[in-house]
Structure 1
């Protein structure tokens, strides 16, 4: 985002970000906090996109909102217990939540997944040891 700030002459906010972080007491609280944060992010980006903005700025907000939507899905799956936490991953896109670990065979995919996205997890046949 720094190039957009520079292009439009906007100062980058300076905050003590570390003082704003609260470490959840459990992984379940972290998942719930993730759901809450992504819902707020999506609402924020939607409000920005309702304004008259330059195309490049709209594009960035749309990409960020789409990423937040995917993150929200992953956090929700962890909260309701349907995320991929262990065992076999079938590699059906974002369908199994957050996946990372050691994959055997041809399952590993790391890199760009669509515009501004990031894919990391299992793909194809075989198993992924998480």
Structure 2
């Protein structure tokens, strides 16, 4: 288990664990979009979302350094597979963004430092934007089919 899925099982996460689950989930997102681009070519919206994921990882790394949390290796490729179609890639992305939003909503309901809260809010809001873009792309594809 990795990222948001692992976070769901932790009923009382520490700040350290929240940061680890968050970076794991951002690793997953980046790798998922990399796999979509590899399988499908320069396909929207994956080509634009992937840059955001790199920033998200860097924000979390900064927090982890500040709070002396060891930055875990990226093992996301062990949990993902290359999508076989645009539909499959969109479904993967939609599901992942929903899980990501849920994880951050939960973390934001807990007592956490203000700087961590600020980053988690930015990450949650970015995922909400990504989810909307993915859903719109799926809808447009169905309309044009």
TM-score, normalisation: structure 2? 0.53
Instruction: Tell me the CA shift for residue 12 of structure 1.
Output: 1.2
For structure 2, the residue ranges without an aligned partner over 5 or more in a row are 1-59
Which aligned runs of 4 or more in structure 1 are off by greater than 6 angstroms?
A: none
Within the candidate set 45, 49, 53, 2:104 is matched to 45
Higher helix share: 2
Question: Are 1:24 and 2:76 counterparts?
Answer: no
Counterpart CA distance in 2 for 1:59 and 1:11 is: 21
For structure 1, the residue ranges without an aligned partner over 5 or more in a row are 86-130
Within the candidate set 61, 64, 69, 1:2 is matched to 61
Larger radius of gyration: 1
Instruction: String of CA shifts for 1:74-114, please: whole Å, max 9, x gaps.
Output: 0111122279x9xxxxxxxxxxxxxxxxxxxxxxxxxxxxx
Higher strand share: 1
TM-score, normalisation: structure 1? 0.59
Greater relative contact order (Cα 8 A, min sep 6): structure 1 or 2?
Answer: 2
Q: Over the residues paired in the alignment, what is the CA RMSD in angstroms?
A: 1.9
Question: Are 1:33 and 2:33 counterparts?
Answer: no
2:127 aligns with: 68
